[in-house]
Amino acid sequence: MSKIGIYYGSTTGNTQEVAEEVAKGLGVSNTDLHDVAKANADYSAYDVILFGSSTLGFGDLQDDWDSYIDKVKSADLKGKTVALFGCGDSSSYSDTFGDALGKIYDAIKGKGCTLVGKVATEGYTYDSSEAVVDGQFIGLLIDNDNESELTDQRISLWVEDLKKVI
């Protein structure tokens, strides 16, 4: 199996919890689970990299991602497989739901990596999202504020889909 590194930013703990659940489902060691507040951007040890961020306010990256995103932009991702996940509030911020994933996607596109883990938008309630590309979310989006009853199932299905391509 491929060596997987998971990098996340979390303010309230929701994205960290998702990162931990994804790590558990993929059999990723805690030593390969990185909080971007303390992480470097040397991805050479990994074949597969997962990036996770919550969307704050009106479509902003999670605070620790504000400085980390520049590290991702300058990193060598050629030949890597990348998947994205994040948390957001589809009710209070329905016009910017999951926009942080769109910002991370913009940072990695054209860097020679392969994006996996897209998710159908069906079953989500939102108005607009930068995380929608070609009619699909570019990664897993979780809304623990309004749809917490769907979180476990969404993570489980996403992890099973990832296992097929990594």
The answer to whether domain 4-165 has CATH 1.20.140.10 is no
32: CB partners within 8 A, 6+ apart: 3, 4, 5, 6, 23, 46
pTM: 0.97
User: pLDDT by residue (tens digit) across 11-49?
Assistant: 999 999 999 999 999 999 999 999 999 999 999 999 999
pLDDT digits (tens, 9 = 90+) for 46-91: 999 999 999 998 999 999 999 999 999 999 999 999 999 999 999 9
